[in-house]
Structure 1
Amino acid sequence: MAEGFPIIDSHIHLYPESEIPTLSWATPENPLAKQHSLEDYKAATSPSPVKGFVFLETDRKHDLAAGVKDGSGWEYPLMEVSWLRRIALGQPKPGEGHTAEDASLCSAYIPWAPIPSGADAMEKYLAKAEEAAGDSWGNVRGFRYLLQDKPDGTALGEGFIESLKLLGRKGYVFDVGVNQHHRGRIQLEETVEMIDKAHDGVPEEEQVVFILNHLCKPDLTVINIHTDTSFIAWRTAMFTLSKCSSTYMKLSGGFSEMDDSLKNRPVEDIFEAIMPWLSVVLAAFGPSRIMFGSDWPVCTVGVDGAWEKWRQIVDRLCYMASLEDEDKEMIWGGTALKAYGIQTEPRSQFEFVY
Structure 2
Amino acid sequence: MAADIPIIDAHIHLYPESEVDTLAWCAPDHPLRKQHSLDEYKAASAGSAPRGFIFLETDRKNDLAAGERDGSGWEHPLMEVAWLKRIATGQPKPGEGHAAEDAPLCAAYVPWAPLPSGAAVVERYLDLVEKEAGESWPKVRGFRYLLQDKPSGTMLTDKFVESLKLLGRRGFVFDLGVDQHNRGRAQLEEVVEMIDRAHDGVPEDQRVTFIINHMCKPDLSIYNVQTSPSFIAWRTAIFTLSKCSRTYMKLSGAFPEMPESLRQRSAEDIFDAIAPWLSVVLAAFGAGRIMFASDWPVCTAGGVGDGAWAKWKAVVDRLCWMASLEDDERRMIWAGTALKAYGIEEA
> TM-score, structure 1 length as denominator?
0.97
Q: Deviations over 1:22-73 (max 9, x none)?
A: 0000101110111101110000000203000000000000000100100000
1:22 aligns with 22
| Letter aligned with residue 289 of structure 2 | R
In 2, are the aligned partners of 1:3 and 1:315 still within 8 Å (CA)? no
1:321 aligns with 323
2:304 aligns with 303
3-state SS of paired residue (2:51)? strand
* TM-aligned CA deviation for residue 293 of structure 1: 0.1
3-state SS of paired residue (1:197)? helix
1:200 aligns with 200
In 2, are the aligned partners of 1:2 and 1:319 still within 8 Å (CA)? no
Query: How many positions carry a matched residue from both structures?
Result: 345
Partners of 1:62 and 1:98 in 2: CA distance: 26
In 2, are the aligned partners of 1:116 and 1:160 still within 8 Å (CA)? yes
State how 1:212-223 maps to structure 2 within 5 Å: 212-223=212-223
2:286 aligns with 286
1:227 aligns with 227
Give the gaps of 5 or more residues in structure 1.
346-354
In 1, are the aligned partners of 2:42 and 2:49 still within 8 Å (CA)? no
Partners of 2:22 and 2:4 in 1: CA distance: 38
1:69 aligns with 69
* TM-aligned CA deviation for residue 5 of structure 1: 1.6
| Letter aligned with residue 323 of structure 2 | A
Q: Deviations over 1:221-256 (max 9, x none)?
A: 000101100100000000000002310000000001
**Within the alignment, does 1:330 sit opposite 2:340 as a pair?**
no
**Superposition misfits of 4+ residues, deviation over 3 angstroms:** 1-4
In 1, are the aligned partners of 2:209 and 2:247 still within 8 Å (CA)? yes
3-state SS of paired residue (1:113)? coil
Identity of aligned residues (%): 70
2:129 aligns with 129
Partners of 1:15 and 1:338 in 2: CA distance: 26
3-state SS of paired residue (1:50)? coil
> TM-score, structure 2 length as denominator?
0.99
CA RMSD of aligned residues (A): 0.7
| Letter aligned with residue 281 of structure 1 | V
In 2, are the aligned partners of 1:39 and 1:97 still within 8 Å (CA)? yes
1:38 aligns with 38
3-state SS of paired residue (2:24)? coil
1:13 aligns with 13
1:143 aligns with 143
* TM-aligned CA deviation for residue 268 of structure 1: 1.1
Partners of 2:319 and 2:5 in 1: CA distance: 14
* TM-aligned CA deviation for residue 187 of structure 1: 1.2
Partners of 1:221 and 1:2 in 2: CA distance: 32
Give the gaps of 5 or more residues in structure 2.
none
In 1, are the aligned partners of 2:47 and 2:310 still within 8 Å (CA)? no
3-state SS of paired residue (1:230)? helix
1:178 aligns with 178
* TM-aligned CA deviation for residue 267 of structure 1: 1.1
* TM-aligned CA deviation for residue 340 of structure 1: 0.1
